[in-house]
Structure 1
Amino acid sequence: MQPLFVAMDTLLNELFPAHRLPYSIMLARMMGAMLFGALIGIERERHDKAAGLRTHILISLAAAVFAILSTEAAHMPIFNANLAQIDPLRVVEAVTSGVAFLAAGMIVFSKGTVHGLTTGAGMWLSGAVGLALGFGFWVIGAIASLSCFLVLGVIGRLMGHGASNPKK
């Protein structure tokens, strides 16, 4: 009967490995990224843009998960020996270029006019906000999200891009 308990212990260690951040903090960071990503995506959704609420939430959440994973990986025992080095900035670069690729897909040049540039920029910012939350920089993520909400909402209305004149 002893080998069964050893196997269960091994399985539990595999499912719940030693980690630096408590699971409650990881959950809070992911939920915060979703909330702040939603704040950015709400305005895009209200104006019926192709990348709306769900897209911005998923981008922000994914970026947060990548940041949490890189933070946790940097503290794994296998990396404490000089066998490998973890550089969190590489994660930032990877997320930045990945989201930029998605955002570029939103930008369309048609009949001499560019469409989707603001939506693409919002997607890129959602990735940055997710990274901020994933790394635990709550204030940066909150300020960036609120700033984006103000830029899209207030400045958008001042420039005539409000609900009465939505541009696709």
Structure 2
Amino acid sequence: METFWNELRLMQGLLAAFVLSGLIGWERERLGRGAGLRTYILIGVSAALFVVLADTLIFRFADDSEQVRFDLVGVLGAVVSGVSFLGAGAIFSDRRGQGAKGLTTAAGMLATAGVGVACGLHLYVLATGATLLFLFTLGVLGRLTESVKERENPAGQSRPDGEPE
């Protein structure tokens, strides 16, 4: 029965990652981005799960053998690499070669993995603070950026090369 309660305690990190990642995902979903609520929740909860599993393995087997190497930093690196691979798939160039699209989505995925890792380590204040910063960046700063772009190039105007925006 003790194992059940221990595992339930470990679920706290996953549940926190679910909520916080969901907030970031909802912001993206609200804007109609390709990666939204479900994707961000899966990224955040998966990152938390990998950290919880690695931490549990270290705790269970660290004293058994000096020949077995435990590396939580390696797990963090694997999470970053895996999410970066997903993010790279979200980035593409537009047809006119004017720039890359999906960079904010890729960065949001990586940020959400960071929130998940913090939740997996039970660093809830840090995870919540980071989530609030990310939401501010995506929401308030995103709207500010859009309004500046609109003022610089009102609807219907052409760019210097003659192409419409």
Match of residue 107 from structure 2: 121
Q: Distance in 2 between matches of 1:47 and 1:73?
A: 40
Cα-to-partner distance string for 1:73-100 (whole Å, 9 max, x where unaligned): 0012375321202111001000000000
Taking the TM superposition and a 5 Å limit, the aligned residue runs for 1:13-24 are 22-24=6-8
Give the Å deviation of 1:30. 0.5
Q: Does 1:138 align with 2:118?
A: no
Q: Distance in 2 between matches of 1:147 and 1:78?
A: 36
Name the amino acid aligned to 1:93.
G
Match of residue 75 from structure 1: 59
Does the CA-based 8 Å contact 2:62-2:70 persist in structure 1?
A: no
Q: TM-score, normalised by structure 2?
A: 0.82
Taking the TM superposition and a 5 Å limit, the aligned residue runs for 1:1-168 are 22-77=6-61, 80-110=64-94, 111=96, 112-160=98-146
| Amino-acid identity (%) | 36
Name the amino acid aligned to 2:117.
L
Name the amino acid aligned to 2:37.
L
Q: What secondary structure sits across from 1:160 in the alignment? A: helix
Q: TM-score, normalised by structure 1?
A: 0.80
Q: Distance in 1 between matches of 2:3 and 2:136?
A: 41
Q: Distance in 2 between matches of 1:39 and 1:29?
A: 15
Cα-to-partner distance string for 1:40-80 (whole Å, 9 max, x where unaligned): 11111011111111000000000000000010000123753
Work out the number of aligned pairs and report it: 146
Any gaps of 5 or more consecutive residues in structure 1?
Answer: 1-15
Q: What secondary structure sits across from 2:81 in the alignment? A: helix
Does the CA-based 8 Å contact 2:25-2:36 persist in structure 1?
A: yes
Name the amino acid aligned to 1:49.
R
Q: Distance in 1 between matches of 2:20 and 2:143?
A: 21
Does the CA-based 8 Å contact 1:79-1:86 persist in structure 2?
A: no
Does the CA-based 8 Å contact 2:24-2:134 persist in structure 1?
A: yes
